[in-house]
């Protein structure tokens, strides 16, 4: 049976619910499979849920997401970035202080986590400045 190029006949809320449900199934599948020792299967379920959730609104002829969704996404992203940034800053500064006091010695994995966290914030800052400059000179 060929896959249709677009889906029609359903209200936008149906597509939105199905899309969100596929994300939830992917996350629950990842967590459950990891708990039972099937990490690769869980990762596969997660990726399938993510792909299906992102593809379903694109197949719809109707607008699935509106301005409220964009505002909600921006607020959620701000909260996540704040927790990630402030939490990481507190943790890494505390560990640096403990290391300076010779009370703690970081492992190579912890150093890798710190460098990854730092690289994320460097990338975020560069992207933020780029978009600000691009918006200003349009």
CB neighbourhood size of 64 (10 A): 19
CA-based angle 18:24:25, to the nearest 5? 85
Collapsing DSSP states into helix, strand and coil, what is residue 50?
A: helix
- Alpha-carbon distance of 29 to 32, in angstroms, equals 5
Tokens (6 digits) for 15: 């597509």
Confidence of residue 76 (pLDDT cuts 50, 70, 90): confident
Collapsing DSSP states into helix, strand and coil, what is residue 60?
A: strand
Predicted pLDDT of residue 41: 92
Q: Is the pLDDT of residue 65 over 80?
A: no
Residues 46-55 have pLDDT tens digits of 999 989 888 8
- Alpha-carbon distance of 51 to 55, in angstroms, equals 6
pTM: 0.54
């Amino acid at each position: 049976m060929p896959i249709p190029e677009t889906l029609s006949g359903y209200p936008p809320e149906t597509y939105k619910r199905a899309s969100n449900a596929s994300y939830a199934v992917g996350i629950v599948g990842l967590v459950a499979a990891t708990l039972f020792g099937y990490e690769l299967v869980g990762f596969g379920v997660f990726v399938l849920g993510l792909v299906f959730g992102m593809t379903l609104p694109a197949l719809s002829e109707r607008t699935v997401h509106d301005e409220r969704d964009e505002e909600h996404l921006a607020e959620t992203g701000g909260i996540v970035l704040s927790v990630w940034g402030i939490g990481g800053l507190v943790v890494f500064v505390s560990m640096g202080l403990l290391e300076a006091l010779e009370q703690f010695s970081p492992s190579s994995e912890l150093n890798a986590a710190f460098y990854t966290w730092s690289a994320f914030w460097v990338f975020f800052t560069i992207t933020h400045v780029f978009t600000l400059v691009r918006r200003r000179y349009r």
